[in-house]
Amino acid sequence: MQREYAETIAIRAVAWLAGNDELLPTFLGATGASTEDLRLRLAEPEFLGSVLDFLMMNDQWVIAFCDGSDLPYDRLMQARQALPGGADVNWT
């Protein structure tokens, strides 16, 4: 996946998260980010990756976002891998 497309998916995830009144406080509390950070840090690929990391912590969140965005469920992982810090770890 091209990095630009991955960033687009992540920005859509930020918008989805910002509109989710139940999940947004959980994200903000877990990351220490503010609602202002959601807007100011959209151009930072590392921040976008952290949003995808957060969503991928729970299968139901992935399903809800992907269903609402008409994306296959594996697209979040593909996008995450295209952003900084998302490469597969090789432990051998």
Query: What are the pLDDT digits (tens) for 25-77?
Result: 999 998 888 888 888 888 889 889 989 999 999 999 999 999 999 999 999 99
In the block, which residue shows the tokens 């969503």? 55
What does pTM read for this prediction? 0.85
Most confident among 18-27, 36-45, 78-87 (mean pLDDT): 18-27
For residue 12, the number of C-alpha atoms closer than 13 Å in the C-beta half-sphere is 18
Q: What pLDDT is recorded for position 4? A: 92
CB 14 within 8 A of CB 38: yes
Q: What pLDDT is recorded for position 87? A: 62
